[in-house]
Amino acid sequence: MSNSDLLVEIGTEELPPTALLTLSIAFRNEVEKRLQESELSFTSIETYATPRRLALKVLALNEKQPDRLIDRYGPAVKAAYDEQGNPSKAAEGFARSCGVKLDQLQQKNDGKIDKLFFNLNKTGEHTTALIPEIINTALAALPIPRRMRWGSSREEFIRPVHWVVLLFGKELISTTIIGLTTSSSTYGHRFLHPDPIKLDSANDYPTKLVEKGKVEPSFQIRKDLIKSQLLNEAKVKKATVIIENDLLDEVTALVEWPVALTGNFAPAFLSVPKEALISSLKKHQKYFYLLDQNNNLLPHFITISNLISKDPDQVIKGNEKVIGPRLSDAAFFFEKDKNQRLDSHIDTLKRVVFQKELGSLFDKSERVKNLSSFISEQLNLNSSHVIRAAELSKCDLLSNMVGEFADLQGVMGHYYADHDGEDSAVGLAIEEQYLPRFSGDVLPSSEAGIVLALAERLDTITGLFGIGQPPSGSKDPFALRRAALGILRIILEKQLSLDMLSCINHAIIAFDALPAEENLAQNIMDFIFDRLRGYYSDLGISTSIFQAVDAVRPNNPFTFNQQLNAVNHFSQLPEASALAAANKRVANILSKLDSTPAETINDKLLKEPAEISLYEKLQHVRQQTAPLINNNKFEEALSAMALLQAPLDDFFESVMVNAEDIALKENRQALLKKIRFLFLQIADISFLQAS
């Protein structure tokens, strides 16, 4: 079957830079899905995305669908004919829908009853006839939260659309896409080549666009080009350029023909905290900053221009003129803030609402201080530094600098605490309370920072759950899932032994009243521990192993982690599968009992060799594992429990648990209960049977 390349290009006004890559990937996925549904085969799809276009090139796309034999079932045979054998209206209608006469229909069982049946030979449609609907449907399915209209058109898209290219090989597919008639002409750079560029075939794209239009349509090529230019510019300055992927993606989405230019700012600004300077350079102006060999900020920046200028010095001067006032503002705010001690803001916090039902920032600070003291006590840590840090933790939110640069909360608190002569541990904890800020971010490094970060998050989760505002579905406006993951990462990676339920109950007590207080502690526990499911999934731990430990969930997440690692190791042992099956059998037997088995086993009632052997082995294993479990050596304990596999299998093979003799039956049930309890000290390994 012959094939050609398909080119689709949607030309728009400037697309949102942070959404461009997502839109491009979604466009490819939607078109790919619909091509596959239409049984149109192809080799691959190339994606293109710039501020003014979304484009795809589908390589070696078949020119038509394959012919297909379609099995069609009609009415049941009993309903198709009356007692005299005359066809019913249902039978006649089915024949007409198949385009055949009644005598051409067959009878076939669909797996339940005999029905009228016909093999319909459906001729494949030409690709050019299918593509318009495929493209329109794919565009309508893009993840665009708010679509817009333009002019008098009723069409909607993320931005106004100005042209649409739709070529199949050399053939123009003439149709309407988002209200515009398709053409074979694209447009180059808005300033370097604003005129239309005629494409003779899909193969002309993207070569003509690059060579004539001065547009590099490939997002990845443009990104690599920018990165290379940044490194070259930094090399000239004998410096290191910091290239963060989020910023690189955003800048790539802002330009069609990137040109890197290096500018400067006054060295006097280096007296301002570098985080404030970097925030101005990076977030406000989309500049890349430079460091020297000692990781000190240099008074230079690299900007990515969207065109080749005849006078690049003027472009550089223009950028320097823009960044100067911003850095001046930062310097002014910093000096002004230093005139007022951080603790002078404490009383003002009473007038700033944290959440209308949860009080002021002062109230939150007091709760966090109280909870920090409790957590410090649980961890056997000195609480003096963290208590002071908690008192000052929200004060920098009232500073001029954080008012201008919101992302510097905590960071500026650290600077101002140091300036005020607070203990260095206090300033560091104020900054570290917000760590980790995002997935994969660094954790707090100091004891006070660790405790404050835990208390801060736990207070927020408790308060919002307590007023009935937990996350729902995909909505999580207060980022509580991220807060819970932060708590778990700190506990697990710092190996902290902390009773989470006690901490939650202590956090609840700190609030005057919470309307959703019923089962609140357990609801919060479930929410936090449920985050572990995804955490371990990312580490490659199977769901069954997580469920085995979650069934006996300890209150301590670090203990949970130790038990899970032990079960993961145990699951690899040769005895694991048989023991999991036996545990499931034991659980089923015990769950069907009308009364609870006795707590003790009467060894005088043990009659069969297999039950005597199992009892003796159980006594030995219990004695061996007790100190191991007490010392959290769960892996060694489970390895010892594996010795029960053979005697337990023998027991089920040769001993009837529910014997007619009631005393024997209850004694054997008590024996199984002891075995079940032994394993449940670590996990319910019956869940492993499914793995």
Residue 263 covered by a domain: yes
Whether 549 is in a domain gets the answer: no
Burial class (CB in 10 A: 0-12, 13-18, 19+), 355: middle
Confidence of residue 691 (pLDDT cuts 50, 70, 90): very low
**Which residue segment(s) compose the domain that 101 sits in?**
68-122
Residues 512 and 491 in one domain: yes
φ and ψ at 282, to 5 degrees? -85, -55
SS (H, E, C) 217-230: CCHHHHHHHHHHHH
Residues 263 and 320 sit within 8 Å (Cβ to Cβ): yes
Measure the CA–CA gap between 288 and 251, rounded to whole angstroms.
Answer: 10
Do 184 and 165 form a contact (C-beta atoms < 8 A)? yes
Assess contact for 291 and 242: CB atoms under 8 A. yes
Please choose, from the candidates 130, 171, 149, 158, the residue with its C-alpha nearest in 3D space to the C-alpha of residue 39. 130
The answer to whether the beta carbons of residues 615 and 604 sit under 8 Å apart is no
Express each pLDDT in 577-615 by its tens digit. 999 998 899 888 888 887 888 888 988 888 889 989 999
Same-domain status, 261 and 359? no
* Residues 566 and 669 occupy one common structural domain: yes
Which of 195, 211, 227 is at the close of a domain? 211
**Boundary (domain end) residue, out of 178, 211, 244:** 211
> Quick one: 191 and 59 in the same domain?
yes
pLDDT at 200: 96
Average pLDDT over residues 659-673: 89
CATH number, domain containing residue 619: 1.10.730.10
Q: Is residue 555 included in any domain, yes or no?
A: no
In this structure, are 351 and 428 located in the same domain? Answer: yes
Question: What pLDDT, in 10s, does the model give residues 124-154?
Answer: 889 999 999 999 999 999 999 899 999 888 8
Q: Which domain CATH number covers 511? A: 1.10.3210
Tens-digit pLDDT profile for residues 81-112: 887 888 888 888 888 887 888 888 888 888 78
For 179-284, where are the alpha helices, taking DSSP H only?
A: 207-211, 219-236, 245-252, 274-279
Domain assignment present for residue 334? The answer is no
Please check the confidence at residue 287 and state whether its pLDDT lies above 60. yes
409 and 534 in a common domain: yes
| Residues in a beta bridge with 289 | 301
Q: Is the pTM of this model over 0.85?
A: no
* 527 lies in the same domain as 461: yes
374 domain-assigned: yes
Q: Convert the pLDDT of each residue in 444-483 to its tens digit.
A: 999 999 999 999 999 999 999 999 999 988 889 999 999 9
Q: Are residues 26 and 161 in the same domain?
A: yes
Burial 592-607 (b: 16+ CB within 10 A, else e): eeeeebeeebeeebbe
Closest C-alpha to 577, from 655, 675, 686? 686
Residue 298 has pLDDT above 50, yes or no: yes
- Name which of 637, 529, 517 is nearest 573 in CA terms: 637
Distances in whole angstroms, Cα of residue 203 to Cα of each of 5, 40, 43, 168, 216: 7, 19, 15, 10, 15
Tell whether the model's pLDDT for residue 348 goes beyond 70.
Answer: yes
- The confidence score (pLDDT) of residue 1 equals 64
Cα distance between residue 629 and residue 38, in whole Å: 59
User: Do 267 and 248 share a domain, yes or no?
Assistant: yes
- What is the average pLDDT across 415-428? 97
- Distance CA(579)–CA(650), nearest Å, equals 12
User: Does 38 map to a domain?
Assistant: yes
Backbone angles phi, psi at 662, to 5 degrees: -60, -40
Q: What is the mean pLDDT of residues 643-647?
A: 92
CATH number, position 26: 3.30.70
Residue 682 lies in a domain: yes
Residue where a domain terminates, one of 122, 156, 191: 122
- Same-domain check for residues 576 and 650: yes
Cα 357 from Cα 448, distance rounded (Å): 28
Beta-carbon contacts of 357 under 8 Å, excluding residues fewer than 6 positions away, are 467
Average pLDDT over residues 396-421: 96
Helices (H), ranges, 494-633: 500-509, 520-538, 543-550, 557-570, 576-591, 609-630
Average pLDDT of the chain to the nearest whole number: 93
Position 690 confidence tier, pLDDT thresholds 50, 70, 90: low
Average pLDDT score over residue span 217-244: 97
In a domain, 609, yes or no: yes
Predicted confidence (pLDDT) at residue 370 exceeds the cutoff of 90: yes
User: Domain total for the chain?
Assistant: 5
Is 76 a residue whose pLDDT tops 80?
yes
pLDDT tens by residue, 487-529:
999 999 999 999 999 999 999 999 988 888 889 999 999 999 9
Q: Is the same domain home to 43 and 141? A: yes
All residues at 6 or more sequence positions from 545 whose CB lies less than 8 Å from its CB, including other chains: 536, 564, 567, 568, 571, 687, 688, 691
Domain identity same for 452 and 503: yes
Mean pLDDT confidence for 254-282: 96
